[in-house]
Amino acid sequence: MNYSVGTTFQHYRITAALGAGGMGEVYKAVDTRLDRSVALKILPPQLVSNQDRVARFVGEARAASALNHPHIVAIYDIGEAEGGVAEEGAPTTVHYIAMEFVDGATLHGHIHRLRTEPKRLLEYFAQVADGLAKAHGAGIVHRDLKPENIMITSDGYAKILDFGLAKLVEPERTGGGSGSSLEEAETAVMARTQAGVVMGTVGYMSPEQAQGKPVDHRSDIFSFGCMLYEAATMQRPFQGDSLIDSLHKIVYSQPAPIRESNPNTPVELQRIVRKCMAKDPGERYQSIRDAAIDLRDLAKEYDSQPTLSHVFAPATLNEGQVQQVSSAYATQFQPGPGSTVSGPAQQVSSGSISAIVGVKKPSTKLWIFLGIALLAVAAAAVVFLMTFFAQKQAKARGPAFESTRIAKLTNTGQSVHGAISPDGKYVAHFMRESGKTGVWVRQTATSSNVQIVPAADADYAGLMFSRDGNYIYYARAEKGSTYRSLYQIPVLGGTPKKLIDDVDSAITFAPDNKRFAFVRLSQADAKLLIANADGSGEQVVSSTKQPDIYFEPAWSPDGKTIAVTARLITGGYRYELLAIQVSDGSSKTIGTKKWLYMDGLAWLPDSSGLITSARDQAPGAKVQIWDVPYPDGKPRKITNDLNDYAGMSLSADAASLVTVQTNTIGNVYVMPSGDYARAQQITQGSARYDQVTWTGDGHIVYVSDAAGSADIWVMDADGKHQKPLTSDAGVNIFPSVSPDNRYIVFNSNRGAATTSISVWRMDIDGSNARQLTTGEGDFFPQVSGDNKWVLFTPLVVGERPCLWKVSVDGGEISRFADPITVRAAISPDGKYVACQYSTGQPNQNAVVGILPSSGGAPITKLTIPFNEYHWSADSKSILFSDSKEGIWNIWSVPMEGGPSKQITRFQSDQIFSFDFSRDGKQLVCERGVRTTDVILIKDQQLAPKE
């Protein structure tokens, strides 16, 4: 049944026909209520005649609609229209499904028509696996997975269609149950096929599905493997002469090996496909997430493995080309040193090589004589050779990490720091477990992973190996404390030994391993100190006044210099690399580059440069790994991708580097207060939305890098009409709307000769921007309840950060509160100010203090996390985000103190930012996934030759 353009069902108006959709006709339509495009699927009458079946389908489709995942097409509405206005005699009762409209091509088109490059296809498949993992975690099985049910958006996102639709067409069970014969099952499938429902999908069914048995998430994994097989071979795995023949092959036969159709397919991809397509569900991947991890690991090998240029089926090759491809493939997988060789090669022992090549063996006496002479020469030369090559290696090999190979060492998404042993054999890392953190050690060559410090509700930082590789060092602060103590533990576990208190960085050892350096911060200054290996004999090498501080130190191979990353605010906000002389504490800047952020530092063994993780000032830049020549030179990127890299650690020979790779996907959701199950995702993107806040008239202001730099944007409450309010190059962040809805105050470095951050004000529509302060680091502006003042936190005035205020029209600034008071949140009734508060005394934990709006001492102190906090609409409670047992939600605590109360019931995703509307009826929330895993980067120039 076909419908014309202009036909309406309820509030949907058809604008175009999109074609058949498996279980009905699909149309592009406009939702006239929300003014958005949707895909409208009209279900055939024969599928909706049984009301019990429809009820089951609706229940599952509703569950699928709540998945809210970037790789699953959202279901907006399911229903039937009575008396719809249809043309050409269309029936008056229509059953429909309204879904997210996706502008793009199917995965089938990318495989067969567009011939999309292999690395991108691997990522599409990994995204599909991510979406399936989300559904499987909610107990939902797709049942009809095939390339035609995967859409690839124009901006490169895979989206799964038709969750729950296969449930509608399952046959009614009549007594046979799971014990029905294969013939009966085939007949049932054929009946559905003859109705035009499952035609073309039989090639992707699992064996249990083909037999009419109950299915679980592992059936989808089998179908996923069938799609991968098709991408690699351009053929479906179970093609038969008839439907019955195809079903028989699904249940009893193995597909033709991939290598027969595409001999250049990597062994790893063939393994992944085999594991997905095991006949026995128990032998498949038990979680599709594991398949996603393996696919992404394979994709990372793409650039460094020549044979991966034809991961999937290539275009037709002539005979000579086939021979070249086969030869390259064989060469790629020649066994290297230490490999096990089977077949005739095993019969050739080292003692028989001379006979094979026709060389006569020397006599025993000659061997003894030569041995004595060689030992004498070796004893004299070994030290010289080791020293010589250690000094010359980097210069001989060219730039460090110019050719790299990347391997993921963890796959939990919860590793937050990594350090590699000097010999490159072990990696230590912190790992979160249900909101707690522990210390683990694994071998780089194997998957062996051992926990050496049990998970605890504490703050860990600064992992480091001793230069001899015998011990691991880390800093730990107990829950609620900001003071970390340094601990030492044997590399394979034991009892941790506390060495010193008040350590604010990783330590770095001198070349002789007898001393280490570290950074200690106070409210007045930052000190670089040296201590003996047992923690005794502290000595200050250098210090700098707050707010300029040191972060990560690295002791040079010659022992003369300690390099540090420094955050400098005096003279303009930036990070720099400093070289501090151990002998006299003098310092100089390394190079001329100014950075927005730095984290992690290590010297190359010949002192020719340093490796660091840093973010430069390019718009939209990510934290990448850099090679910085010493003492001067142009920095060079080692990594250059869309991920962030947190910290780094280098082996003694600089052949291996360990860092933590961060991947973030975040989007904005809007939902009614108290009914958070009705959360509606209103944006699509990858971490492009942050610092969300409501305007007084129901719009959403947020920060986005969609235009290439951090700017302030506004959009409707349904995500429509997104537009920038700032468009100046540089940084525009931390927007806050005045109570009277006239102004937005924000931080910006516009018009500054340096990267200094000050407070600005603009009209609610983005016009009439005006600078209110001229400080070098004035952050977190908020307008007072009477709309007369702006509270902000300078990071350069005085010796401690505290709240200051300025008129909403600019002018003189004055101190609002003391002692340490940071990031104000003003109550809706204008009577109170919440802020991060501390007296600065040793061992005194920071809290959220509730101050009178006139300033002065706190009237209440609340011990809550500093992730993000706001006032409730009635000014009686503080709302904050927190991850308890690894699950992020929003909590409420009375302003006078007391037990916290959970107010949202999210089951997944991290909360990056949130805000309640002025009337408290709507919640806007940026939620998403941020995974952090340890990766190993190998310098191919130093890799063993195969």
Greater pLDDT, 68 or 354 = 68
Catalytic residue among 31, 130, 144, 599: 144
Round the average pLDDT of the chain to a whole number and report it.
78
Residue 690 vs residues 188, 520, 706, 783, 886: alpha-carbon distances, Å: 51, 32, 11, 20, 21
- Nearest in space to 816 (alpha carbons), one of 782, 867, 865, 775: 782
Among the residue ranges 179-188, 207-216, 622-631, 732-741, the one predicted with the least confidence is 179-188
Distance in angstroms (rounded) separating the CA atoms of residues 835 and 846: 10
Contact in structure between 638 and 422 (CB atoms under 8 Å): no
Distance in angstroms (rounded) separating the CA atoms of residues 822 and 807: 19
Q: What is the pLDDT of residue 52?
A: 61
Distance in angstroms (rounded) separating the CA atoms of residues 333 and 322: 17
* Single-letter code of the amino acid located at 116: T
For the question of whether the overall pTM of this predicted structure is more than 0.85, the answer is no
Burial status of residue 481 (CB atoms within 10 A of its CB: 0-12, 13-18, 19 or more): middle
Is the bond preceding 899 in cis, omega lying within 30 degrees of 0?
Answer: no
Q: Which residues contact residue 576 at a Cβ distance below 8 angstroms, ignoring those fewer than 6 apart?
A: 565, 566, 568, 589, 590, 594, 595
* Single-letter code of the amino acid located at 836: Q
HSE, side-chain direction, 13 A CA sphere, residue 686: 15
- Nearest in space to 272 (alpha carbons), one of 293, 246, 301: 293
Tell me the H-state helices in 654-782: none
The pLDDT of 231-255, averaged and rounded, is 86
225: left (phi > 0), else alpha (psi -120 to 50), else beta? alpha
The partner residues of 929 in beta bridges, in order of sequence, read 665
| Chain segment 99-146, per-residue pLDDT in tens | 888 888 889 888 887 778 888 899 999 999 999 988 888 888 888 899
The pLDDT of 143-166, averaged and rounded, is 82
- Give the pLDDT band of residue 63 (cuts 50, 70, 90): low
Tell me the H-state helices in 333-479: 353-357, 364-397
Greater pLDDT, 300 or 443 = 443
Would you say residue 22 has pLDDT above 60? Answer: no
Contact in structure between 473 and 482 (CB atoms under 8 Å): no
840: left (phi > 0), else alpha (psi -120 to 50), else beta? left
| Chain segment 769-808, per-residue pLDDT in tens | 999 998 777 889 999 999 999 999 986 544 467 899 999 9
Contact in structure between 574 and 755 (CB atoms under 8 Å): yes
Which contiguous run of DSSP H or E holds residue 104?
Answer: strand 104-106
Tell me the H-state helices in 116-266: 118-137, 165-168, 182-194, 207-210, 217-233, 243-252, 258-261
Contact in structure between 847 and 863 (CB atoms under 8 Å): yes
313: helix, strand or coil = coil
- Give the pLDDT band of residue 943 (cuts 50, 70, 90): low
Would you say residue 352 has pLDDT above 50? Answer: no
| Chain segment 649-697, per-residue pLDDT in tens | 999 999 999 999 987 778 899 999 888 778 889 987 654 678 999 999 9
Q: Which two tokens stand for residue 322?
A: 């086939």
- DSSP structure string for 413-437: SBEEEEEE-TTSSEEEEEEEETTEE
Q: Where does 5-92 show beta strands of DSSP type E?
A: 8-9, 12-20, 25-31, 36-42, 75-82
Distance in angstroms (rounded) separating the CA atoms of residues 810 and 826: 19
Q: Which residues contact residue 930 at a Cβ distance below 8 angstroms, ignoring those fewer than 6 apart?
A: 662, 663, 664, 666, 910, 912
Residue whose structure tokens are 């002025």: 918
Q: Which two tokens stand for residue 888?
A: 């992020």
Rounded to 5 degrees, what angle do the CA atoms 167, 65, 41 make? Answer: 65
* Single-letter code of the amino acid located at 866: F
- Give the pLDDT band of residue 876 (cuts 50, 70, 90): very high
Is 144 one of the annotated active-site residues of the chain?
yes
The pLDDT of 452-472, averaged and rounded, is 92
790: helix, strand or coil = strand
Highest mean pLDDT among 194-208, 445-459, 511-525: 511-525
Q: Backbone phi, then psi, for 403, in 5-degree steps?
A: -120, 120
Q: Where does 727-812 show beta strands of DSSP type E?
A: 732-737, 743-748, 758-763, 770-771, 778-783, 789-794, 804-807
